[in-house]
Amino acid sequence: MLLLNNARIRDLKARGQLLKPTLRVGKEGLTPQFIAALNDALKHHELLKVKFDHLKDQKKELAPQLAEKTGSHLVTRVGNVVVLYRPKPPGKTNPATD
């Protein structure tokens, strides 16, 4: 996995503050369906915000699991929100913008 330097992490945190939560962790937790939806969202957006609507007392343990299960970086966790980053593979472009 690509290591992020401090400048890149600061940039990602700043960009993450402007995002609205893409997905919300519900009372079912990190189900295979939730992980699949998160993986799909990361294919289209490199940077995502995920909000913990439920399981708030477990967010410290679950946030790193989200990153691990999706092959993404945990950029920040503030309150009930985490920001995840997974760069698009080289050579992959977004057909909507081409």
Q: Where are the domains of the chain?
A: 6-85
User: Are the C-beta atoms of 77 and 67 separated by less than 8 Å?
Assistant: no
Lookup: tokens for 11: 């940039």
* 42-85 per-position pLDDT tens digit: 999 999 999 999 888 898 999 999 999 999 999 999 999 999 99
What CA–CA distance (Å, rounded) separates 98 from 82?
30
Nearest to 28 by CA among 66, 67, 63, 55: 55
- pTM as predicted: 0.84
Options 3.40.630.10, 3.30.110.60, 3.40.190.10, 3.40.50.970; which CATH number does 6-85 get? 3.30.110.60
What CA–CA distance (Å, rounded) separates 74 from 66?
8
